[in-house]
A and B are shown apart, each in its own frame.
Chain A
């Protein structure tokens, strides 16, 4: 108990700890570890089905005025600190500065969630054509209730749309996420989404006897070469797959109906 009190007495450090912990628990904020600036973050409605579970915010936020962020117990070895996910623990010597404790906790959490960096990983592995650059709009008014376009706006637009496309790349390259029963994924015939030609849809598909949209062809592939269940049009995986294929054909002229 003495040690707990010692820890709680580091008021200034504790404030920092609270902030870092809050960052670690906020799913819409980039992780504090040094990652490339272009790295988008997970958007909940687009994340594929086995996107790593976001840490559940605890009932009591660590930023509230309780004397300790989470139950901390003194052990002979030092102070045991619990992250706000209620699971991640680390033990530090008494008197450790709050920033160091926060760093240790984040390292623990990141080690347990390697997939937290999935957007960076997918980008490194498979690449992605960048979304259109809207920087020219910064500072311009919009002629309506919204204010001027800010740098933040432009960054959010790019990050969000690239995240959806990266979610698509991830599904595209993973037979399990596609639900394949034969170990086949899209990239096995379409590396970098080559030869998916989304710009040619809709077109009359003689083999189907009707006009097909890109999603119809995706579903055809899912049912036949991939041997999976077709996806509904608003399935997050379908939305992500379409986003990825369109992203990879950025700059190509639309030519609907082209054979």
Chain B
């Protein structure tokens, strides 16, 4: 045990980059089938010998070992793409997330894209995003964000990806995708051009815009959609904004959240996964478990008030560490219909918020917090 000590310390970055390089060179040298075989064999051997699995890929591999008959969904969210000529950083970040998800073995059942693919809703930004997401090996389910919508009121987005609200069933779980970024008209009275409207919505702290809602029409649609679903069926809802009220000035907020929650109330197991907040965020209201998603573009600070009690804050991002506080992740749905939420923070240890943490209302399995709280 002492023999290794001299070379034991390596920084997180070094380990990550080494393993990444190793994995990529492996891919170059092997065809896919042999690579899968080789990596499975290596994992098996490592598990049998109870050796440490590789540092940064460990949680991913450990996670699916416990799934049993459950399944996994990967997520990528809030990429805020500009055209590549203007800003290649956000583009590269989305490519990194696509690489991450494509490297998952076995592959997730599908990938949720959590909204805000574009920064200013422009056709070229959305086209670029769509093109990059086509590289994903697993099927993709799209959700819309306000940055995708308010230039042309969703015309381009719908042309690429279809209607923003829909539902589907997968392995006994009912999934609902909502457009929760419906804003009341603030632009006509101010005689705004489409781009002025878009830029107003694109500013998180721009008080000229309205609050997010799901809206009457979609709530009616949701009621109808859920009518025939038995109470015992596990429900997973995807919304861009959190379906509760956290902090209104930043639209970390859905104005008709209570009405939506009332529709979901009769179900015994409900998980809501949302984008928009770019941070680790955990909440529980009644039977509804809420989880945030990470952004690939930049992290948001925590709101100055209204933070749910169950939220364990992620580490304060280091501005000197590019892409710190950003990432992607997974939703691990267990056979009982409850879900673990994995935050794959780039440049940091990944964090898993387990279903038992929320089920016990924070009494067990508390995720590891950061010693430095936000300012």
A-side interface residues toward B, CB under 8 Å? 124-127, 173, 182-184, 187-192, 194-195, 197, 200, 207, 217, 220-221, 224-225, 259
Contacts and interface: CB of A to CB of B under 8 A. Distances in A.
Contacts of B322: 224
Contact of B301 (A124, A195, A207): A195
A173 B203 contact: yes
B319 A191 contact: no
A134 B204 CA distance: 32
Contact of A191 (B119, B250, B372): B250
Interface string B89-107: 1000000000000000000
A125 B203 contact: yes
A192 B304 CA distance: 10
Interface residues of B, number: 27
Nearest to A127: B207
A75 B353 CA distance: 77
- What does DSSP make chain B's interface, helix, strand, loop or mixed? loop
A197 B375 contact: yes
B298 A126 contact: no
B86 interface: yes
Contact of A187 (B200, B203, B319): B203
Nearest to A195: B301
A189 B89 contact: no
Interface of B: 82, 86-87, 89, 119, 200, 203-208, 249-250, 298-301, 304, 316, 318-320, 322, 372, 374-375
B318 to A, nearest CB: 8
A200 B300 contact: no
Contacts of A221: 319
B298 A189 contact: yes
Nearest to A221: B319
Contact of A125 (B206, B304, B375): B206
A182 B89 contact: yes
Contact of A194 (B208, B301, B318): B301
A126 B205 contact: yes
A182 B82 contact: yes
A195 B375 contact: yes
Nearest to A123: B207
21 contacts: A125-B207, A182-B82, A182-B86, A182-B89, A183-B82, A184-B87, A187-B203, A187-B204, A188-B204, A190-B301, A191-B204, A191-B249, A191-B301, A192-B250, A194-B301, A194-B375, A195-B301, A195-B374, A197-B375, A207-B320, A225-B319
Given A192-B249, A195-B301, A225-B319, A126 B86 contact: no
Given A126-B203, A182-B82, 20 more contacts: A124-B208, A125-B206, A125-B207, A126-B205, A126-B207, A182-B87, A182-B89, A187-B203, A188-B298, A191-B249, A191-B250, A191-B300, A191-B301, A195-B375, A200-B375, A207-B318, A220-B319, A220-B320, A224-B319, A225-B319
Contacts of B208: 124-125
A126 B208 CA distance: 8
A189 B323 CA distance: 12
A259 B372 contact: yes
Nearest to A207: B320
Contacts of A191: 204-205, 249-250, 300-301
A195 B314 CA distance: 14
Given A190-B301, A194-B304, A220-B319, A126 B375 contact: no
Nearest to B202: A188
A182 B83 CA distance: 10
A189 to B, nearest CB: 5
A194 B252 CA distance: 14
A143 B60 CA distance: 72
A200 B374 CA distance: 13
The residue among B119, B318, B320, B322 with the most chain A CB atoms within 10 A of its own CB is B320
Nearest to A121: B208
Contacts of A183: 82, 86-87, 119
Contacts of B203: 125-126, 173, 187
A188 B297 CA distance: 10
B171 to A, nearest CB: 38
Contacts of B205: 126-127, 173, 187, 191-192
Contacts of A184: 87
Contact of A124 (B204, B207, B250, B319): B207
Contacts of A127: 205, 207, 249
A164 to B, nearest CB: 19
B273 to A, nearest CB: 22
Contacts of A197: 375
A124 B208 CA distance: 7
Contacts of B300: 189, 191
A124 to B, nearest CB: 6
Contacts of A217: 319
Nearest to B205: A191
A216 to B, nearest CB: 12
B237 to A, nearest CB: 26
A121 to B, nearest CB: 9
A186 to B, nearest CB: 11
Nearest to B86: A183
Nearest to B325: A189
Nearest to A190: B301
A207 B319 CA distance: 10
Contacts of B200: 125
The residue among B200, B204, B299, B374 with the most chain A CB atoms within 10 A of its own CB is B204
B299 to A, nearest CB: 7
A183 B300 CA distance: 17
